[in-house]
Every structure is written in C-alpha cells, then in structure tokens.
Chains A and B, each alone.
Chain A
Amino acid sequence: MSEYVTARIIRLDEVDFGLFDWDRHNTVYFFVLNADEQIYLRYGGRDARSFDSYLGLESLELALEKGLELHEKYKAGELPKKPRGAPDFAKDYPLLVERTIGNGACVECHLVNDYKAQHKELDGTLDKVRDMYRSPDIRTIGIHLDAPKGLLVASAEGMAQAAGMQPGDTITALEGVPVYTFGDLQYNYDKVDRAARSATFTVDRAGESVDLAVELPLRWWLTNLDFRHWTIEPRVYFESDPLTAEEKRSLDLPEDGFASRVRLVEGVAGLLGLHELKVGDIVYGVAGVQTDPDANSAELYLKLRTKSGSETTLQVLRDGERIEMPLKSARMGFRK
C-alpha cells in the first residue's frame, strides 16, 4: 500500500462522474489511477446477496499488485490512453441541489444514483431495464467466481458452461475490454446492451487466450432490487409466479402474456390500501395490457412500465371469475 498515494473521498459534491463512473449503490468503491487521471482498474462491486460477495483482503491485494504492474506499463508507454467522459457533477442535478446540497447535507453515493434516475424519469429518458436493473448478476448466466482469487472461475453452469467456460479459467476481457477485477467485470457487464443475446468473455486457460460467446437468456439483466431502495421502483408488495404456457392456454390467455399467479401478499399492501390481491389470484393484465417483451410476470410489468406512486387497474382471475381491481403502487422516500 505504501507504493500508492491513498485517498478517501466521503462527499461527492466535487466528483466528476464523467471520470469516476460506477454503480453508486455500492457501499464502497475503489479506483486505481495515475496522475494523468487514467484509471487502471476498479475494485468493488456487489450483488443482491451481500455488499461483500466479491470483496476481501486477498482479492484486494491482487488488485493492488495489478495496479502497480499497469502503472509500470503506462510509464513505459505500453498502455493506450482512455478517453474521458463528459463532465458530470452532482450540481448538475437540480433535485440533488435542492434537497441535499442546498440543505448542507452530504452528497452520498446512493443519493446520486437515485436523483439521477429521478431526473431521467422527469425528462422521459428513463429506461428501467437499463437504469433500474443495474449491475446484472453473472451468476444468472452460470459464472461462479472464486472471489478471493479475483476473476478465477470456480465453476460454470448454464449458459457459461454451454459456451465452454471451465473451472480454472480466468476471465481477462469482456466484449474485448480488458478486465482485471470483479469491479471491472461488473462495470463492463452493466454496459452490455440489455437487448443483446450474447456476450464474448475472453478467458485465460493455462496461458492460452480463449474467446467464449456466452448466450444471454431472456431477462439476463433481472436482479433483486431490494437493497437499492429506488424511488423510481413501484412498490406493489406482492409476488407472483408466471403461469406455464399450458396454464395460459387452458385459461384462454395469450401464451406470450405475463399472466402470473400471486404467491405472496405483504401486509403493508392492505395497510397502505394499495390493492386487494389474494394469494392464488391470477393477474393477467394491467390496464388492458397482457403482453410485454421484457416482463414475464405482472409485478415485473408493473415495475417496468408504470411509475412508482401511480394508480392503474389490474385484470384478475379469482376463483374462475374475471374481475377488475384498482392498484396503487408506493413510492419510496428513503433517506432523501
């Protein structure tokens, strides 16, 4: 560590997010860079299970060693310079200025994420598949890392295994972009177009570089959002399971529809007067819509296509009878 200049920044008022871009729902995040503001690598990243699924002393030490190696290469002129993003500061977001900076409160990481998303919602540019479902989980495509060893693959299943990924491989690039840490991998995986149907992972296998075209399944980007406390996420307080194609046929519902059977209704739904769904209800439509290219359940459709805090009407099958039911979602106001 003594071979580094160390800095810890706890207020983001003056940070240029055009340079330091990361998923700010992380607890902590690290960059290794040089005096020319060239970022060598990132250290950080999390999943829905825990803030530290991919953090630890062993992987940190590997990252620090790699940072020194890249620094030597940079000084030797062996690393190309990366372009810097357009300037992007907290002060550029009026809601953040009004509610946080203007009150003298700390501009914290998660607030930046949340207010940026709210501004996208206001100006109509919010794409929830991309902006709300941040940092897709590599486990969804079957990549399980030996986290203390950085990007060493512990096991591969599903799509990753089908593409040829093997235990013992070390991931070295994604879509041609070199990655040195899990933070690098997750950051670049988040950049993959949500409509993409494959992504190329390059691995080192016993000294040989191998490209693996991993097929991306439908909804590969879908993650648990609970830890994010998004304002933009409609809270509906029920969970449901997609009907099978056979069930939909038997109920005369479109096979490509998002009809789903309610599995859980949280008490808060009743307390807040949001809806009157019951376990076993089948929600087969929202405001008359029954199909969606991204949603395979009613609550996913509501999260993706309705605004938090808004009201709509559900089409519901209850005890074989088709009924209409009003629903209002809740809008989070977590620590604003």
Chain B
Amino acid sequence: MRLFPVSLLLLSALTAFPAGLAAQELHWFDSYDAALEEARRTGKPIFLEYRCSP
C-alpha cells in the first residue's frame, strides 16, 4: 500500500511540464552526486525533487 498514490501521479505531471515551457525531454538524474557534478560542469542550478516513488 502506498501512502499517497494519487498525489504522486498528479505531482509527476506537475514536474514534467512547468508552465510556459514546452514539453521537452528532460534528463532527471537519480543520483545526487551526479547532479552536483553536472551542475559544476554546466554552471546551472539544480532543481532537486524528493518523493516516495516514481
């Protein structure tokens, strides 16, 4: 049994297509360290999501 199954589905949509942006392909790192490394390489900030399950 999942704690918040419906909400997870809704929030999945939320983070997939932020308003004003095209539904473009985004790469979501599943490793925090890898995201940090990519941020260092590109100079970009990190948008980090914590959630129970995909």
Contacts and interface: CB of A to CB of B under 8 A. Distances in A.
B50 A5 contact: no
Interface string A273-294: 0000000000000000000000
Nearest to B10: A52
A52 B7 contact: yes
B50 A30 contact: yes
Contacts of A95: none
Contact of A7 (B14, B48, B54): B48
Interface in A87-110: 106, 108-110
Given A1-B21, A32-B47, A335-B3, A9 B11 contact: no
Interface stretch (A12-20, A216-224, A248-256): A12-20
Contacts of B49: 6-9, 28-30
A31 interface: yes
A9 B32 contact: yes
A6 B28 contact: yes
B46 A58 contact: no
Given A10-B54, A15-B32, A30-B49, A5 B44 contact: yes
A85 interface: no
Given A5-B45, A7-B28, A34 B39 contact: yes
A37 B36 contact: yes
A68 interface: yes
Contacts of B34: 7
A64 B4 CA distance: 25
Contact of A5 (B14, B17, B35): B35
Interface in A1-50: 1-10, 12, 14-15, 20, 22, 27-35, 37, 40
Interface of A: 1-10, 12, 14-15, 20, 22, 27-35, 37, 40, 51-52, 55-58, 60-61, 64, 67-68, 71, 75, 106, 108-110, 335
Interface of B: 1, 3-4, 7-8, 10-11, 14-15, 17-21, 24, 26-32, 34-36, 38-40, 42-54
Instruction: Pick the 6 closest A-B CB pairs, nearest first.
Output: A7-B35, A35-B39, A7-B29, A4-B47, A35-B40, A28-B51
13 contacts: A2-B24, A5-B35, A5-B38, A7-B49, A8-B15, A8-B54, A29-B51, A31-B46, A32-B47, A35-B39, A57-B17, A67-B47, A68-B45
